Each structure stands twice: as structure tokens, then as C-alpha cells.
Amino acid sequence: MKGQLNLEQIVAMTLFIAFSSYVFFTVFNLVPRYTSEVRSERLRSEAYQMSELLINDPGSPANWDKSVKPSRLGLSDETANLTNFISKSKVAALAGNCSAPNYAGFSQVGQWLGTDRQFSLLILSRNCAITGVDCRPNASVFRSSPINISIRRFVAFDNTCYGELDMEVW
């Protein structure tokens, strides 16, 4: 009985090929969703790290708002040493840098934050008259990625004033 296949062997081989094809296509369809989630989590981590750096680090040098250009941006009030307590003068200095003509200030802020990604930074006061920050790229590069992460953090300016920092990264 050389070279003969019986019915059980044909059915077994057909079932094996069908099952293998099903597993392959199922895994193949899950990979794009998985990689998209990995990119999203990586972006969320980077956005949170940037917001943490802004809120709880005084920057380098710590008095960069007094006319020294920083090598690292941070808004924390170095005299208070409190979590989420930011300096009004540093917020005003950052607002001045973000409003530079031709978005040169925006790209400089990105370098100070140490990121190549596009981002939007908004600092608003909720109960005081404090100059806020509106730092965004120009409209041509705005939202060029399908993944957009938004981080909202609450901050204090002094014992009576509070606000929020909204950061979007894409």
C-alpha cells in the first residue's frame, strides 16, 4: 500500500491546516492593535514625565526665570520645596518664551523639555489673576499623529491660588 492516503489522514491534514490558518490570522489581526497600544502607553509615559518635570522640578539653573536661559525647564518654586507648587515668575517667563514670534520660542521650549515630539502646554489659573501659558505649535503640524495623549495636573501658585496644567503630546 505504498503511496496511498486513507480518509483519516486527509481529514487530519485538512483540520491541521485549517486550525493553523485560523491561529495565524488571529495573531496577525491582533498585532496592529497591540503595537498601537504599546505606542500609546509609551506616549502617555513621556507626557506624564514631561508634566512631572515641569511641576516638581525647579529647572536648571533653579533661577532660570531671572534672565538666565535654562538647560532644563522646570516651574517648581525652589524656595517652597512643596509638591505641585509652581512659581508665578517662572510661569510668566515661560509664557513670554512661548509667545516669541514665528514659534521660535515654542521650539526652544521643546528643547528645554528634552522632547522631539509635538506637544501643547496650557497652564490656567482657576481663582487668581495670573498670566497663563498657552504654548502650542503652529497649525500646520498640529495633530499630525493619530495617537494623542492628554495629561491634566492640578497645581498651586501660592497658599490661595490654584490652577491646572494641561499637556497634550502626539
Condensed to tens digits (0 to 9), the pLDDT of residues 28-63 reads 998 988 998 999 999 999 999 999 999 999 999 999
Q: Is residue 2 part of a domain?
A: no
Q: Is residue 115 part of a domain?
A: yes
Q: Is residue 129 part of a domain?
A: yes
The boundaries of the domain holding residue 30 are 7-169
pLDDT at 1: 56
Q: Is residue 123 part of a domain?
A: yes
- What are the pLDDT digits (tens) for 136-164? 887 665 566 778 899 999 999 988 899 99
Domain count within the chain: 1
How sure is the predictor about 69, in pLDDT bands with cuts at 50, 70 and 90? confident
Q: Is residue 1 part of a domain?
A: no
d(CA 155, CA 161): 9
Q: Is residue 116 part of a domain?
A: yes
pTM summary value: 0.78
- With cell 511641576, the residue in question is 55
Q: Is residue 110 part of a domain?
A: yes
144: number of CA atoms within 13 Å, CB side?
9
Count of positions (residues) in the chain: 170
Beta strands in 30-142, from DSSP E residues, in sequence order: 119-125, 133-135
